[in-house]
């Protein structure tokens, strides 16, 4: 599935409406006692239905009040995105593609016109995450609460908060559409080309500028960072409505904690084969595998006996046709996992057991 980064250069407005439809009781003729019973039934039903709608609306309002102050707008020299306050020290987590190659930024907090300067702490494009830090954190800066993204369930109501199309402090509503998605980001127009596992798919509207913001459950917990919107190749690469992806909170916390504590990522938790490769095509010009261009000395592939020129066609039970499919297969594994690599050498198919390394 194609996906694209989310940045902003224009403006639009998204509105959300909750509509509660009440059933109407009607009869052509009835006795007085029957009408009294119907009236009593109607009076009993209406408060319960209205009450349920009010409870849901109150729940939305509480979540927005709890979390929106922790969602900021990040402005670089040319592009704009969102971020989430990570702690009371002024650290803000966002996407690597939001910060790009820049080192300094202007941050605007929710419901405020005051701007603050921030500096890059570190960027980790392999997971499309970065942390920046406010130079002078304001009093009362509120850190968001990150939840357990492994508990996200399909059908769960979520809110997406950020600055879509430059409209700061915007909120859209939807559900968790799927979990456990592995998605590869494009590398054009400043994209990182990252392959990210376990992403949360959502129907909440995700637009350019939402990148780096918050995907929030009704317990006021951030369960993901909106990062990608699906594109429809049949529509010339236009966004596919209602299909967006967020990096899970578990990944965000793992990467952000290391950057905050050590200034960089020291343990990626991502499996690696230890090769440089490229996609090869067959006689029909179809992608047919990954050619090993270089083998990292002492890496997983080197220890398994792979050589430059080998063509990888399978990893475990997954067919490998492109460098992207290899990245996605590795994203599903962990460092130290044992698997089998199927490859061809001089026209002959071979297999090798391999213990995966770490990126």
The backbone torsions φ and ψ at residue 272, rounded to the nearest 5 degrees and listed phi first, read -140, 145
Tell me which of 123, 163, 211, 220 is the catalytic residue.
211
**Cα–Cα distance for residue pair 334/192, rounded to 1 Å:** 21
Active site residue 170: no
Tell me which of 82, 91, 128, 310 is the catalytic residue.
128
Query: DSSP state, 282?
Result: -
What's the token pair of residue 69?
């102050």
**Cα–Cα distance for residue pair 292/313, rounded to 1 Å:** 11
Handedness of CA 196, 187, 281, 239 (dihedral sign): positive
Tell me which of 70, 91, 97, 122 is the catalytic residue.
97
- Host H or E run for residue 133: strand 129-134
Contact 83, 93 (CB under 8 A): yes
Residues in the chain, how many? 359
Contact 71, 168 (CB under 8 A): no
DSSP string, 139-186: TT--PPPB--GGG--TT-EEEEEE-GGG-TTEEEEEEEEEEEEEEE--
Contacts of 133 (CB under 8 A, 6+ apart): 89, 90, 91, 92, 118, 119, 121
Active site residue 91: no
- Host H or E run for residue 95: none
Contact 282, 318 (CB under 8 A): no
**Cα–Cα distance for residue pair 76/175, rounded to 1 Å:** 31
Contact 106, 80 (CB under 8 A): no
**Active site positions, annotated:** 97, 128, 211
């Amino acid at each position: 599935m194609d996906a694209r980064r989310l940045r902003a250069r224009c403006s639009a407005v998204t509105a959300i409406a909750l509509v509660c439809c009440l059933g109407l009781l009607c009869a052509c003729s009835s006795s007085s006692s029957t009408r009294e019973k119907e009236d009593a039934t109607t009076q009993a039903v209406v408060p319960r239905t209205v009450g349920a709608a009010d409870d849901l609306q109150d729940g939305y309002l509480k979540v927005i009040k709890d979390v929106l102050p922790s969602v900021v707008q990040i402005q670089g020299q040319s592009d704009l995105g969102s971020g989430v306050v990570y702690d009371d020290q002024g650290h803000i987590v966002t996407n690597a593609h939001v910060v790009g190659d820049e080192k300094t930024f202007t941050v605007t907090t929710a419901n405020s016109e005051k701007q603050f300067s921030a500096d890059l702490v570190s960027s980790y494009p392999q997971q499309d995450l970065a942390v920046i830090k406010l130079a002078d954190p304001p009093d009362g800066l509120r850190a968001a609460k990150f939840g357990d993204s492994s508990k996200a369930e399909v059908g769960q109501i979520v809110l997406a908060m950020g600055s879509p199309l430059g409209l700061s402090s915007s909120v859209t509503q939807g559900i968790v559409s799927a979990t456990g998605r592995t998605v590869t980001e494009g590398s054009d127009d400043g994209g990182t080309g990252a392959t990210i596992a376990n992403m949360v798919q959502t129907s909440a509207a995700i637009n350019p500028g939402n990148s780096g913001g918050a995907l929030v459950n009704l317990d006021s917990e951030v369960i993901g960072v909106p990062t990608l919107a699906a594109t429809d190749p049949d529509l010339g690469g236009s966004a596919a409505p209602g299909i967006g992806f967020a990096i899970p909170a578990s990944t965000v916390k793992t990467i952000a904690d290391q950057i905050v504590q050590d200034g960089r990522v020291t343990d990626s938790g991502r499996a690696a084969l230890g090769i440089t490769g490229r996609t090869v095509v067959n006689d029909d010009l179809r992608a047919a595998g990954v050619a090993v261009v270089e083998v990292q000395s002492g890496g997983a592939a080197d220890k398994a006996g792979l050589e430059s020129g080998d063509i990888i066609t399978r990893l475990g039970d997954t067919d490998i046709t492109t460098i992207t499919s290899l990245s996605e297969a590795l994203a599903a594994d962990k460092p130290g996992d044992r698997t089998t690599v199927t490859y061809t050498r001089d026209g002959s198919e071979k297999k090798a057991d391999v213990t995966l390394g770490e990126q």
